[in-house]
Structure 1
Amino acid sequence: MSTLTIIAFGVALAAVVGLCLGLPDSWFCALLALACLLGGVDSVLRDLRAWALAFLASGAMLSGAAVYAAITTGRSGRP
């Protein structure tokens, strides 16, 4: 298991634990996007094209969800 994979698992675990402890949705999605992008980079380095594409696409969708959550929370005034 490479260092990037271990870091990606750690970030994903931190996101899930943070969600259980009341982490805002924008932070949760941003941390999961970071984990997906780290997994995608690791897949690119290992030359696994299908996994890299899947990780990078899911990372892009999660970063869009994080931005959307941050904007809607800012407009409604909820913490």
Structure 2
Amino acid sequence: MSAASMAAIAAAATAVIGALFRLPSRWFCGLLALSALLIGLDAALRGLAENWVLSSLLVAAVFSGAALHAVITEARRRRTP
């Protein structure tokens, strides 16, 4: 098991355990995006099919967008009285 795989598992496990302890959405989605990026990196380094790499990057982009949405929503919520 490569270092990228272990880091991806650790990031995903941290996100899931954090969700049990009410981790904010921006952190949850950010950790899952990091995990997906690390999975894509590992797949690219191992020379797996391009579809595997591209799909993991697509998942990372979706979770990054969700994290950005959570950050913007929280900022708007704090700004309004």
**TM-score tier after normalising by the smaller chain length:** over 0.9
Displacement after TM superposition at 1:2 (Å): 1.1
Root mean square deviation, CA, Å? 0.7
Displacement after TM superposition at 1:23 (Å): 0.5
Which ranges in structure 1 are unaligned for 5 or more consecutive residues? none
CA distance in 2, matches of 1:44, 1:60: 17
Displacement after TM superposition at 1:45 (Å): 0.6
Q: Which amino acid aligns with 2:77?
A: S
The residue number in structure 1 matching 2:61 is 60
Matches within 5 A, 1:22-33: 22-33=22-33
The residue number in structure 2 matching 1:2 is 2
Percent identical pairs in the alignment equals 45
TM-score by length of 1: 0.93
Larger Rg: 2
Which ranges in structure 2 are unaligned for 5 or more consecutive residues? none
TM-score by length of 2: 0.91
